[in-house]
Amino acid sequence: MSEESKPVARPPRPTYAPIITVQQHILREQRRFAGVSGEFSWLLSGITLATKLIEAKVRRAGLADILGSAGETNVQGEVQQKLDIYANEMLLNALSVRESVAMLASEENEQPLLAHGGSPHAKYIVVFDPLDGSSNIDVCGSVGTTFSILRRTTTDLDSEVSADEVLQPGSKQVAAGYVVYGPSTMLVYSAGNGAHGFTLDPAVGAFVLSHPNIRIPAYGKYYSMNEAYLDRSPAIYQEYVHRLRDGSLGRPYASRYVGSMASDIHRTLLKGGVFLYPPTADHAQGKLRLLYEANPIAFIVEQAGGSATDGHGRILDIQPTSIHQRTPLVVGGPDEMRAFAKIAAAAR
Ligand code: AHM
Ligand code: MG
């Protein structure tokens, strides 16, 4: 047989299972849905790039005092920034060059920002909290990033984007997710077809699929809230928490509270249970922001089989009226949410 006519050899059986990176996963997802184009995966790669840059900075946060503290010049002659400002800039930089992004809104910016000089045909709006639970940084605790992706509300993409286009109920999210910077860094996202978790492999710098199709357990062992506020919360929250404690909801619960919502939600998602941030006497709408904290979390948790309410109705049905609007939040697995709904209904 001549050299040229030799058959092409089959590849050997792989020794290792192939890894799936978040980029591969997004590309696969977008093929499944009509109307989701390649622009979308390019956009999401902006988020993964920025969160990898944030993670690298978070890992070195404990060295800030040695290298120079916020606002000072460090030994390399660089001006140190607060980490939440840095995280915001990384997301703004990475996303504003994506042609499909029309507008960006962040917890750190009073007003939404036009991206890409108002690029024609840009159809997405990205809303985020760049560094959730940032006070944990000082004590080497875990922090997070939350994000939500919306389509522009107009079909005339040549029209100038208006700030009001960001005011959409969470049910309109095209995709949403969060990143937890903990012992390892994890990204959980959903584009409306289940919630999927990826762990950052720092050796190769890729988010690798580690938790496909996350399902929140039917019930868990923990509730999660800042209990210092319980006495100043409405009666339904007090009754609910007392009943979680005394075992009358089927089992006695223990509590866990990290103080970074993304981290507390991540535990709740994987282990079951409930997370609450109630209204208080001082803050009638609680503390958490609807557009870039509660909505992405509610989207993910619903995709995983749980639910989220503001104490009256579904979080994802709330029509926002302002960009930084706050909302009470109760989010968790089926058993815990059923019990909360029962107590809330009985009080009406
Ligand atoms: P931040 O975005 O300014 O960090 O605030 C949000 C955080 C949440 O991550 C967390 O659940 C909550 O604030 C903690 O607040 P509190 O200290 O009132 O319990
Ligand atoms: Mg926050």
Residues 138, 139, 140, 143, CA torsion sign: negative
Indicate which residue's Cα is closest to atom 6 of ligand 1: 133
Shared domain for 98 and 135, answered yes or no, is yes
Cα of 132 vs centre of ligand 2, distance in Å, is 4
Mutate to test the pocket of ligand 1, among 108, 226, 287 (most ligand atoms within 8 A of CB): 287
Task: Specify the pLDDT at position 68.
Answer: 46
Domain end position, chosen among 214, 231, 260? 214
Q: pLDDT, tens digit, for every residue of 107-120?
A: 999 999 988 655 66
Other CB atoms within 10 Å distance of the CB of residue 308? 24
Is there a domain that residue 10 lies in? Answer: no
| Greatest distance between any 2 Cα atoms in the chain | 87
Whether pLDDT at 182 is above 70: yes
Shared domain for 70 and 166, answered yes or no, is yes
Shared domain for 175 and 316, answered yes or no, is no
Task: Specify the pLDDT at position 12.
Answer: 83
Number of domains in the chain: 2
Domain holding 142, by residue range, is 22-214
Mutate to test the pocket of ligand 1, among 82, 261, 289 (most ligand atoms within 8 A of CB): 261
Shared domain for 210 and 252, answered yes or no, is no
- Report d(CA 144, CA 332) in Å as an integer: 18
Q: pLDDT, tens digit, for every residue of 19-77?
A: 999 999 988 887 766 565 678 888 999 999 999 999 999 998 877 655 445 565 545 45
Other CB atoms within 10 Å distance of the CB of residue 175? 26
Shared domain for 57 and 193, answered yes or no, is yes
Q: Please report, for the domain that includes residue 322, its CATH number.
A: 3.40.190.80
DSSP 8-class letter at 293: I
Q: Which atom of ligand 1 is nearest to the CA of 228?
A: 19
Q: Which protein residues are within 6 Å of ligand 1, measured from CB?
A: 107, 129, 132-134, 226, 259-261, 277, 287
Assign 56 to helix, strand or coil. Answer: helix
- Mean pLDDT over 182-207 rounds to 96
- Mean pLDDT over 171-175 rounds to 96
Cα of 256 vs centre of ligand 2, distance in Å, is 18
Task: Specify the pLDDT at position 3.
Answer: 60
Q: pLDDT, tens digit, for every residue of 309-324?
A: 999 999 999 999 999 9
Task: Specify the pLDDT at position 72.
Answer: 55
The CA-CA-CA angle for residues 249, 254, 259, to 5°, reads: 120
Is there a domain that residue 151 lies in? Answer: yes
The encoded tokens of residue 214 equal 């996350």
Task: Specify the pLDDT at position 27.
Answer: 87
Q: Please report, for the domain that includes residue 120, its CATH number.
A: 3.30.540.10
Shared domain for 111 and 151, answered yes or no, is yes
Is there a domain that residue 14 lies in? Answer: no
Shared domain for 273 and 316, answered yes or no, is yes
Is there a domain that residue 9 lies in? Answer: no
Least confident range of 2-16, 246-260, 275-289: 2-16
* Neighbouring-strand partners of residue 307: 332
- Mean pLDDT over 193-201 rounds to 97
